[in-house]
Structure 1
């Protein structure tokens, strides 16, 4: 049975992917920020295993994981967690910059580093759920876009470094998707939120599954997804 470790499994794209993997009988390990969130995810998705590690404090991830039982194999690692806080460069605080760069970039790098020994043995696929903001930056999006541009750089470097070890790396760049994060963005933009205008999270999750399920003789490196209506 394939085993997948997912961050952000409790919401949005991560939740949609978790549900699809469970329904087809795969094993899922969800990384939760604390024990309370782990219980919520386990209750929502019966059969899912959980690990606790706070992505806002990547320097503590090694210690946190050392106190828990990691799976013997991981067939895919999907980085779906993320935070966003809009604002002009003139207005964004250092704390906002630090949080977005930490959760969206430094934490995926550290978690990947810690899991690489297992990922290499499993010849796993690593998927970074990036964003259209990882390819272009718009006004008010500087910190978030910077974190996602950095995530692209991380994925590109990792892909070249781990190719010889059989580890495949994919970056997925969804356009606006109907998630709680998108609701927050609309609130900050001061515009009405209409989920029907955006990509359904299950559509992005299905694209991630295509990358994960691809035969070993091929690798999807970069995948952009845009609203079709």
Structure 2
């Protein structure tokens, strides 16, 4: 694949998901976006919507985990990396099996770790920003959703370690609460859209992180609904 020469480059995983589509739409205003996802039809919709501002990369990141260098062209600079791809299936310690732990850890932790490692030279060259999409589950334990929560705890450790060791880039964790996405619907199908976060608001939070002044970095942004779902009961 030939690299698209643009003044700013963004790479977004999970680009065809509910949050990912909005993240891409926000970033194309001033970036060329490499949109990574498995859904070919939705990737084509992104290209149709944004034209030459988007390069679609159809890829199963877990399958490419050990050959991540082949996923993208050699990018001389990466101004923004958004690790948004994730899986969330409800398991307790009792119901989860080894394959459940592995599938969640692979996509939610191992993929962002490896892709970030591969793109570090470009991030350093651009003094770019690496963003990890976490979750409210990353700061609490959930007995009936322990596998997903554990991966998000691990993702915090990954982001914190990267930030403390890589002083040439900025690192941020953005942790949305319940958001109107297919993933959340799979966990809790009985919700009112007006009670949860609109995906576009997560994209706006990412924009705030990217546009922060050069002498600072927003290391953690919690994005919560106006009224917590538990407080509505």
Residue 79 in 1 paired to residue 86 in 2? Answer: no
The two structures, once aligned, show a CA RMSD in angstroms of 1.8
Q: Which residue of 1 aligns with 2:20?
A: 14
Q: Which residue of 1 aligns with 2:97?
A: 93
Q: What secondary structure sits across from 1:215 in the alignment?
A: coil
Q: What secondary structure sits across from 1:9 in the alignment?
A: coil
State the shift of 1:118 in Å: 1.0
In structure 1, runs of 5+ residues without a counterpart are none
Q: Which residue of 2 aligns with 1:42?
A: 47
CA contact (8 A) 1:55 1:102 kept: no
Residue 223 in 1 paired to residue 218 in 2? Answer: no
Structure 1 residues 34 and 72: CA distance shift in structure 2, 3 A: farther
Query: Of residues 43, 61, 68 in structure 2, which corresponds to 1:61?
Result: 68
Query: CA offsets, 1:3-55, max 9 Å, x none?
Result: 21100111211111111122x24211112237666445434543311234422
Q: Which residue of 1 aligns with 2:107?
A: 103
Q: Which residue of 1 aligns with 2:3?
A: none
In structure 2, runs of 5+ residues without a counterpart are 1-6, 228-233
TM-score, length-scaled by structure 2:
0.87
Residue 140 in 1 paired to residue 144 in 2? Answer: yes
Q: For residues 14 and 37 of structure 1, what CA distance do their matches in structure 2 show?
A: 11
Q: Which residue of 1 aligns with 2:169?
A: 167
Residue 31 in 1 paired to residue 36 in 2? Answer: yes
Query: CA offsets, 1:62-90, max 9 Å, x none?
Result: 3x23xx53433210100111100102211
Q: What secondary structure sits across from 1:46 in the alignment?
A: helix
46-55 vs 9-18, which moves further: 46-55
Q: What secondary structure sits across from 1:8 in the alignment?
A: coil
Query: CA offsets, 1:153-201, max 9 Å, x none?
Result: 00000001101xx2010001111011111111114xxxx1322110111
Q: Which residue of 2 aligns with 1:194?
A: 192
Q: For residues 99 and 173 of structure 2, what CA distance do their matches in structure 1 show?
A: 27
Query: CA offsets, 1:106-165, max 9 Å, x none?
Result: 0000000111111111111000000011111112111101111000000000001101xx
Aligned length: 219
30-39 vs 149-158, which moves further: 30-39
